[in-house]
Chain A
Amino acid sequence: MSVLTKNQMTIKALETKIRDLEGQLYLNPVTRCPNELSLKNEIQQLSARESFVYSFLLILTVDNIYGIRQDFDPTVADEHLAAIASHLKSSVPDPEHIYHISDHSFAYLHCCEPVPEYEPFAEKLRLSFEDSEAFIRPTTVSIGGIRFSECPDKISHGPSLSTMALGEAFNRLKQSKIRGSNRSTLTNSMSMTNENILRVLIVDDDPLQLEFIRQALLNTGFKTDIALDGEEALNLASKLFPALIIAEYSIPKLNALRLKRTLDENPYLRNIPILLMTRMKSAELVSQAMDLQIYHILEKPLVPREIEGLCRYLIHANTDSTNNGL
């Protein structure tokens, strides 16, 4: 054996060791659940096992964590997440395979005997949240799921399995969210329609201004929704998944920048571009907006044609990234 191969062996051994260590290290500090990386590893290893054919993956996301973040301390939100994790662990047959994959999304990978019926099991899990009284606020979840038997053969043993399975599950989760909160989508029944992509949410507390923007977008094929304050905007955004939000800076309850900051916490809403309107554009406001990745700030009075043009531009520029799920 040459020195070179020896070295390669050592490197490989080290890499596996590192991965093992990472697997142990990568526990979420709040919920003590393993993270997304561990889930991906697990899925990769799954393809070699017998249980692969009947395994399935569920991704759950908590619908109203933002309300709790808004109203309570961050510590309360953390406790809430921990409570959800423990509730999950107690209601599945295999608590080892609960993963905390992003801020408020969890995954459950079922890969052992006995095999529960896929769809009823998911529904039961979802409903168990509604009935539970362990949470500080009534809590609901949305679920997206995939059975590994759905995967095409070519992919099932390839390296892209985990990406594909997770991606598909996320897409289905997104469909559940689009239909409203507290839903589950477990099969490939619904496809994304253009209608959802072309929604524009307008936020302002001035009805006349809202009306003008609505009129400006009337004949462009965009569907418009309106919200009169930041809180309403947040609720609508997480329900409707608009392709663009046009928001006045100073709106009641949450100003536009804090609205954006809250949207950023949600991986599904993070990519929605925001068009900011203000009465007085100041250097401070612009730099704050740029920090939050709001790149378009219009000063009132608006030019209707500009709104329309920017809408088209922003939505088309952003369509690709929104289609990518996360």
Chain B
Amino acid sequence: MDYSTILDITWFFSGLILVMVLLNIFQSDGKAHQREILSESHKFLTGEISPAGRMSKFLKMYLDVTDRILLNEKANTSIRSVMTRSGRIDTWKQNLNAKTAVKRMRAALYLGHFGTAAEALALSERLETESSRIVIIYLIYALSRLRFAPSLPIILEKAIRATAEDQLRIAGLCQNFGPDFTRLLGRRVENAKKSEIPFYLTAARFNLSLELTLLLTEQAKTGVWPMRRDAAQILLEKAPHILRKKSFLDHTDHDIRALAYQALASQPTKENLTLLHASLTDTEARESAIIACSTLLRKKPEFLPESIALFMKTPDEEMKKSLARVLAFRLELFLQNLANEKGGIYKELVTSILRQGEFSTFIEFLNATKDPDLLSTLLDLTQALIPELPGFDRELQHYLNEDLLKRIGLKRPELIPEKRNLKKEQITFRLLLGGLLIAFLTFPLIFTVLHLGLIRDHHWLQFIKTFIVQFNYLMVYYSGTLNGIYILITIFSIFGIRKQLRHWSLKTAHFLSRPGMLPSITIIAPAFNEEATIIESSNSLLNLKYSNYDLVIVNDGSRDSTLNTLIRHYDLHKIDLKLRETIKTRNVRGFYANPGHPRLLVIDKVNGGKADSLNVGINISNADYVCGIDADSLLEPEALTKIAANILDSEIECVAAGGNILPVNGCSVSRGHLDRIGIPRNPIAQFQTTEYLRAFLTSRVGWADMNSLLVISGAFGVFKRRRLIEIGGYLTSSGKFQKDTVGEDMELVVRLVRHMHRYGRAHKVQYSVLANCWTEVPESLKILYRQRDRWQRGLLDILTFHRKMIFNPYFKEAGMIAFPYFILFEGIGPLIELQGYIMVILAAIFGLLNGKIALLLFIAAIMMGMVNSLLALYASGLQRPLFSLRDKLRLSIMAIIENIGYRQLQLYIRVAGYINSLKRPKGWGTMVRKGIGAS
């Protein structure tokens, strides 16, 4: 390449950068559309609307309007006639057979709005041959809007073959057909085939007709396993009186019996209590019987004496144990009575309850009680019980007041670091060292082998000089390739973002709000010492625009009053819940809830780290998906809807989905709501804004489209709960793999993908570019360094832990594209790049740097980087409206200058992270309190 060509390339890139800046600044922000609708709105109300101008624009407006109000007949007729006259309806009918799914979806949606019987016929014909699941949903939605009953047999056919999630959606949509659907089901149910039953059960969730009730009863009695349980579950919700029958109370399956007990508890009468008392001896379903019994007693506290009398009377030890657990929720009442003259009879009860491990209530009571007589009685009791109850002393040591602790002669324990697995660490160390050697020795070795003659013929200084020059060229290639890959991914991403926007424009609020359409989601927010912010963030999380979600706040053994702040603010009460310990975690100390806030559940548990808290949330959740978020991050109200809509679009099973992470610094926030979006003033945070837009928002869309997305930030990610349970949840030292990691979020996705590949299940990791989560980013270099160092160490940790996936074609794109990329460019790449920079400096010192190399380096390392940054900024701007004009200008400037300085800083931090991983890992063994939950 001669000098003038290089100059031409430089000019080309400069021009490109300028164009990109302008493009970014004058990107449309979607506000014009809003203004237009506002000015046209009255026409829709009066019905004097006649579509003019661009039809696509009008249709978009139409969808926006009909989501909010129902148009009157006049407006509907006039719009429909225009659609017919202009040939739109015919075009849509043709488009029903179009190749791209989006076109078919759009056609179905509009025909559902404007169609008549003829169009409905076309829709149901299409439905017969359709294979894409999301298009099927749209077709059925359209048919249900038109209430075209003749299509019901075809819909039923499709529904029976659909996945369980889609069956729920279809059953929800079918409710719109009203009695037609119920009658059809009634006829079909009588001689139902086995394969059809799951759908009928799903339909029964919405509308329980007589035929369906009979089917459910029969299924719950004699059906095969998963259906038997499902049927009983639905009966419990819809018709508990059936479950109360003797045939269910004596059923051979203990799952069914458990549900029958719950049905008993839903009707608090004395007879039912007696039945439940008898059920306490049921060894298989004891857990449920205990909960049912205490639920009933909570509803009718007047029956409490019955249970206490039974406890005193019964000789059966097992029965006593169970009753003690039933009565545990009134422990405080019994404790109050201990100091009375009649206290003797309560002593046995209290001791039995404590034997069941109900320590936390007891300790809280001890801490709170003011009565000196009662206190001394209780302390005596405590001292007598300590040798008898294993683990009691540890709980006391951690949670009892200092002076009370002294009175019973115990001490607070010291913190000791956790034991490390030395063997595993050695392997990691060797691998990392190998990587380091490869990074530093490969090129010199190749160079030496190729230029052996040089060593013989020339002075060693000349040899080194040639080496330096060659390395500079290598650097040009390396940076060029790296930036080339980045730009390529960004371009992919632009297509990906456009696709997501097209899909989102078809998701009308009416469509999304059909029952069962969006999956249920549990948000899990681990909180450790967050008393200052917990109310604000929980308020924000309780105010999301999503119909089917709940929030679990896991108090991870906070030392401050996080739990008490929550209890006071939401007026929570301790409740009993059956916790399935499907993932092994540290001990849970209690559940808190308030019927006035049905979405909120607070879990108090022993300290075990973020991953451990998330695992507890996964255990307690009943939802299809769980969403892990940081307690200090802020979700936009629509974020969950957008991420769930994205999941809905996936043709194959979506196991995980991530959303955007954006820096909240610079935005104004009040009461957990984002009032104004802005960019930070602090330059370090500003650089991070451009970086987040480039690295998280833009490039991940590209990675997801290549099926190679392996990183979903822990600050906001949604995962399929069933799969998480299959893989044993997040990685913790108390869990399946006995290993802690600093990058638990990425590790989870990698393990999830690995698991799905191992069982040969088609799956997808999505990235929803429309769902925003705002989080605080560091504003000082020191904290930034710490954060990035942790990320780099986490990455390397995962790369070594899952080393079997590297270049393994078994794991398809994840093994062949994503993992090699991570190793080459993120793992040891920084080491090579650092060498490159050193060589450039050396070359400059030796005077070897001619204009040609310098210019090439500038193009490859800096200018291409700038093009990528600006392109990414443009891509992120497609998701509008995000930033104001002035902010966009500032971001453009930042995108240009981040390539000089900030990128090099990151490089330094990454190398430092690598070196830190090699050191004896002092930051790895997290400080864990001595032995809690070890028993």
Q: What is A's interface to B at a CB cutoff of 8 Å?
A: 70, 73-74, 205-209, 211-212, 215-216, 229, 231, 250-255, 279-280, 282, 284, 288, 300-304
Contact = CB atoms under 8 A, between A and B. Distances in A.
Nearest to A205: B637
Contacts of B38: 207-208, 211
B42 A215 contact: yes
B68 interface: yes
B85 interface: no
Contact of A250 (B37, B42, B69, B543): B543
Contact of B34 (A70, A207, A229, A304): A207
B283 interface: no
B544 A302 contact: no
B70 interface: yes
A207 B34 CA distance: 9
Which of B37, B41, B67, B69: most chain A Cβ within 10 A?
B69
B58 to A, nearest CB: 15
A301 B67 contact: yes
Given A209-B68, A211-B41, 17 more contacts: A73-B568, A207-B34, A207-B38, A211-B38, A229-B673, A231-B670, A250-B544, A253-B673, A255-B543, A288-B598, A300-B509, A301-B69, A302-B68, A302-B70, A303-B70, A304-B45, A304-B69
Contacts, number: 76
A217 to B, nearest CB: 11
Contacts of A205: 637
Interface in B526-571: 539, 542-545, 547, 568-569
B578 interface: no
Contacts of A255: 542-543
Contacts of A208: 34, 37-38, 41, 64-65, 68
B513 interface: yes
Contact of B509 (A70, A211, A279): A279
Interface in B13-45: 34, 37-38, 41-42, 45
Interface in B52-102: 64-70
A206 B45 CA distance: 17
B672 interface: yes
Contact of A215 (B45, B70, B513, B545): B45
Closest 8 CB pairs of A and B: A252-B673, A280-B547, A253-B671, A279-B513, A280-B513, A209-B68, A250-B545, A303-B70
B456 interface: no
A74 B70 CA distance: 43
Given A208-B38, A208-B41, A252 B637 contact: yes
A253 to B, nearest CB: 4
B342 interface: no
A31 B42 CA distance: 54
Contacts of B67: 300-301
A74 B515 CA distance: 38
Contacts of A254: 543, 671
B370 interface: no
A212 B68 contact: yes
30 contacts: A74-B568, A205-B637, A207-B38, A208-B37, A208-B41, A208-B65, A208-B68, A209-B68, A212-B68, A212-B69, A216-B45, A231-B671, A250-B544, A250-B545, A250-B637, A252-B543, A252-B637, A253-B670, A253-B673, A254-B543, A254-B671, A280-B515, A280-B547, A284-B598, A300-B509, A301-B69, A302-B68, A302-B69, A302-B70, A304-B45
Contacts of B66: 301
Contacts of B510: 301
Interface string B571-610: 0000000000000000000000000101000000000000
Nearest to A248: B545
A211 to B, nearest CB: 5
Interface string B506-518: 0001100101000
A205 B673 CA distance: 12
A252 B536 CA distance: 12
A55 B835 CA distance: 92
Nearest to A216: B45
A301 B70 contact: yes
A288 B70 CA distance: 26
B238 to A, nearest CB: 12
A113 to B, nearest CB: 47
B72 to A, nearest CB: 8
B634 to A, nearest CB: 11
Which of A205, A250, A254, A301: most chain B Cβ within 10 A?
A301
Nearest to B46: A215
Contact of B672 (A206, A212, A253): A253
Interface in B629-685: 637, 670-673
Given A208-B34, A211-B38, A303 B547 contact: no
A280 B672 CA distance: 23
A209 B569 CA distance: 32
Contacts of B37: 208
A208 B35 CA distance: 9
A229 to B, nearest CB: 7
A169 B37 CA distance: 48
A11 B906 CA distance: 89
Nearest to B671: A253
A254 B536 CA distance: 11
A142 B598 CA distance: 37
A303 B568 CA distance: 41
B183 to A, nearest CB: 25
A208 B69 CA distance: 10
B507 to A, nearest CB: 13
Nearest to A284: B598
Which of B34, B65, B515, B543: most chain A Cβ within 10 A?
B543
Given A229-B673, A301-B66, A212 B544 contact: no
B632 to A, nearest CB: 18
A247 B568 CA distance: 27
A209 B545 CA distance: 15
Which of A70, A74, A253: most chain B Cβ within 10 A?
A253
A205 B569 CA distance: 25
Contacts of B547: 279-280, 282
A109 B672 CA distance: 43
A251 B45 CA distance: 24
Which of B509, B515, B547: most chain A Cβ within 10 A?
B547
A145 B545 CA distance: 46
Contacts of A216: 45
Contact of B68 (A70, A253, A284, A301): A301
A103 B515 CA distance: 42
Interface in B177-223: none
B640 to A, nearest CB: 11
Nearest to B674: A252
A81 B921 CA distance: 56
A171 to B, nearest CB: 34
A300 B37 CA distance: 18
Nearest to A255: B543
A122 B637 CA distance: 47
Contacts of A284: 598
Contacts of A73: 568-569
A302 B569 CA distance: 35
Contacts of A250: 543-545, 637
Which of A70, A216, A252, A279: most chain B Cβ within 10 A?
A252
A279 B510 CA distance: 8
Given A253-B672, A279-B509, A300 B543 contact: no
Contacts of B65: 208, 212
Contacts of A300: 67-68, 509
B664 to A, nearest CB: 15
Contacts of B598: 284, 288
Nearest to B673: A252
